[in-house]
Amino acid sequence: MDLFIRPDGLTLIAHFTLPWVQTWGDSRKDSPYKAWVRETAALPSDFGARYNWFAFSIRAVVARSRVRFTGQIPDVENIPKLIVDAFTGVLFPDDDIRYVRGVQVEAVISPDEENLTEVWIYGMPAGGVEAGSEPPGHQRQ
């Protein structure tokens, strides 16, 4: 992913593709979508204990035809919400900054009808930077 710079020490723990772009906001559809995201990632249930914290990188490709209709154009900042939320209680107990240190999202309009969301999940291995401390490479101002 061109925009994402991976801090030293992070390990890629999952990379998967979802066949559409979903944003949050419809509580009737949120729970099944989050379950499907977890299933697609195929991470073992105890996997989160191996890491102190996580970072997500998300690339959405939105079909050109979807952008023609105002009600179908996703807001880029809403794309990662359900994906990160899907792993609460699985990889981490809460998605606050103790456990999720970065969420980077990039969206592009497809020149054709391609519509997908690609997800990378990185983890700081236990024994790396402790939960509650600064990520590697971070300098306080």
The CATH number covering residue 33 comes to 3.30.1330
Using alpha carbons, select from 65, 81, 71 the residue that is nearest to residue 25.
Answer: 81
Is 141 among the domain residues? no
Is 32 among the domain residues? yes
Q: What pTM was computed for the model?
A: 0.83
Using alpha carbons, select from 124, 114, 121, 110 the residue that is nearest to residue 58.
Answer: 121
For 36, other C-beta atoms within 10 Å of its C-beta total 14
Which domain covers residue 77, as residue numbers? 11-125
Is 2 among the domain residues? no
> Per the structure block, which two tokens stand in for 54?
């996580």
Write the pLDDT tens digit of every residue in 60-73.
998 888 777 666 67
Is 97 among the domain residues? yes
Place of tokens 């995201």: 37
Number of domains in the chain: 1
Write the pLDDT tens digit of every residue in 69-86.
666 678 888 899 999 999
Is 46 among the domain residues? yes
Is 118 among the domain residues? yes
The pair phi, psi for residue 27, each rounded to 5°, is: -60, -25
